[in-house]
Amino acid sequence: MSQIDTLESFFSETINKMERQFTSHEFFLKLLHNHQPEYIAALASYSDAMPFRKLHCDLTHCLKKLDGKSITVQQTNYSSRDIFGIASTTTLWRKK
């Protein structure tokens, strides 16, 4: 099982802990907070200069697989602050 698969196995649990609407950034923080060893292992598996960016891109692809099932996209390019507090855009989700 890959590091991403391991993190993806926690998605349902993490989604259940989210507010009705949430951003991808909020989801990443909740996942990181509740599964720190697995999140750090996933980051360490990248030999990329920007492992957070790469990991979050991969996690977003996993979230998109749930669109129309347990969550739905409300808005793309939604203004948000990333996990470092930097102004950015992300996806806004809503639980079904």
* Residue span of the structural domain in which 75 resides: 3-95
pLDDT of 45-92, one tens digit each?
999 899 999 999 999 999 999 999 999 999 999 999 999 999 999 999
Number of domains in the chain: 1
pLDDT of residue 18: 98
pLDDT number for residue 74: 97
Listed in order, strand segments (DSSP E) in 1-96 are 21-23, 71-81, 87-95
Q: State both tokens at 88.
A: 């950015």
Q: How many CB atoms lie within 10 A of CB 1?
A: 7
Quickly state the pLDDT bin for 1 (edges 50, 70, 90). Answer: confident
User: Which among 13, 3, 88, 84 is positioned nearest to 45, based on CA atoms?
Assistant: 3
Nearest to 56 by CA among 21, 78, 32: 32
pLDDT at 9 over 90: yes
Per-residue model confidence (pLDDT) at position 48: 86
User: 0.85 cut: is pTM over it?
Assistant: yes
